[in-house]
Structure 1
């Protein structure tokens, strides 16, 4: 088993998940190289190797900073499809770079959106039913990773992410007659997502797929009402006449 002192990681996407993940790895004695689109004032003097580049430019993969990733045994891809003009194409080039560098372990964050919206119980054996272009792009990227020559691949399909600083309830606060209040949620607090990513990096074991979702599945009305109260926001008003059901995503693994 890898120890956290030995973790040497590259992080593609130094943002909502990448920054706290890098901090956790550093605090546990690891080393991090990370890439983001542009450097901000918050990034100055961070204790890691941080570079800014536009991944939409194919020439980015010929730049010298990737040499500093070559000694990193685990690479993370935390970018959503919305971050790239050609999601699968860009990740294909990044994967080729990883293979050339002899990377042993890659962790890709996906999404439970690949299961679609049909009401059913979904686990890792459930066939995907993507209904959005983003979900279809995620599935295409997953296929690339499965087919790669990297010996250890982990695909983590994350539930809906939230935390106090960036919470989806802020967009719903005070709104009325919202639909889907009876549908169950498949949520994941950012802290739990970061912990799952960290633990996955510690234990490479071949090619694996995992759903990472909180075990509780309250209705949307219950979840967002409770979360609004925690944050001191006005609760959204869901239409009680809308009783449509939705999927519940679980995992077969601890």
Structure 2
């Protein structure tokens, strides 16, 4: 792994993109990023931050791509399918732009959701079984990247993201008699996900697929009760009679375990 920071460009300057940009900058990288609109938190950031409507048909002809992205050797895509009207179509144009500029490394934030919900243990060799539109869109972009001319591709399939500031337990507390309390969780803390993205930026070595999940897989009821206690909240109301199981996602790459 190189100690020299690559100059990076980030598509998706939010929950993962902002802390990733900060860490890259602290290590001496030049960073450019794009988001939909600016907020007060964006003032005087030490990176090049542009705004764009990524759903506009001509967005990838904007001058800032040539001016501020063409010289960045590593590009990140951290956008979920919900961020774009035509996820695959928009990212196909984005990848074509990367090919045009001679980008050497793309890091794509994928999801363990591509494995579906069937009860089984999954690792990087397990065939995907996407069951939702979002999972199918993500898998289609993975295929697009594998077929691209970019020499170094890293696809990180992240587990469910959480942190104290944005925790799914808050939504669960609004529900009653929740199903699936025994199903194992496949999660990764925001900090660990950002660290995995950062490590990957420094290590372009061909084409790699990684699952980024925490090694422990307690049941949802157990996990979220413990997380709620950390936040001073009551445990979510899971149905104790539902004993249905779910998948467990692991990684065969010990060096990148979350």
Structure 1: 5+ residue stretches without partners: none
Q: Could you tell me which residue of structure 2 aligns to residue 52 of structure 1?
A: 51
Find the aligned partners of 1:251 and 1:207 in 2 and give their Cα distance: 16
Partner SS, residue 126 of structure 1: coil
Q: Could you tell me which residue of structure 2 aligns to residue 97 of structure 1?
A: 97
Q: Could you tell me which residue of structure 2 aligns to residue 78 of structure 1?
A: 78
> Following TM superposition, where does structure 1 have runs of at least 4 consecutive aligned residues deviating by more than 6 angstroms?
none
Q: Could you tell me which residue of structure 2 aligns to residue 163 of structure 1?
A: 163
Quote the offset at 1:176 in angstroms: 2.8
> For residues 180-219 of structure 1, what are the structure 2 equivalents within 5 Å?
180-219=180-219
The reply to whether residue 152 of structure 1 matches residue 175 of structure 2 is no
Q: Could you tell me which residue of structure 2 aligns to residue 130 of structure 1?
A: 130
Find the aligned partners of 2:61 and 2:131 in 1 and give their Cα distance: 35
Q: Could you tell me which residue of structure 2 aligns to residue 229 of structure 1?
A: 229
Quote the offset at 1:174 in angstroms: 5.9
The reply to whether residue 63 of structure 1 matches residue 62 of structure 2 is yes
Q: Could you tell me which residue of structure 2 aligns to residue 36 of structure 1?
A: 35
Partner SS, residue 167 of structure 1: coil
Q: Could you tell me which residue of structure 2 aligns to residue 118 of structure 1?
A: 118
Quote the offset at 1:175 in angstroms: 3.5
Quote the offset at 1:234 in angstroms: 1.6
Find the aligned partners of 2:30 and 2:232 in 1 and give their Cα distance: 38
With normalisation by structure 1, the TM-score equals 0.98
For the Cα contact (< 8 Å) 1:174–1:235, is it kept in 2? no
With normalisation by structure 2, the TM-score equals 0.96
Aligned residues: 253
Find the aligned partners of 2:8 and 2:248 in 1 and give their Cα distance: 33
Superposed CA offset, 1:40-68 (max 9, x none)? 11101100000000110121111110021
Partner SS, residue 109 of structure 2: strand
Superposed CA offset, 1:192-235 (max 9, x none)? 00000000000001011110000010000010000000011121
Quote the offset at 1:177 in angstroms: 1.3
Q: Could you tell me which residue of structure 2 aligns to residue 18 of structure 1?
A: 17
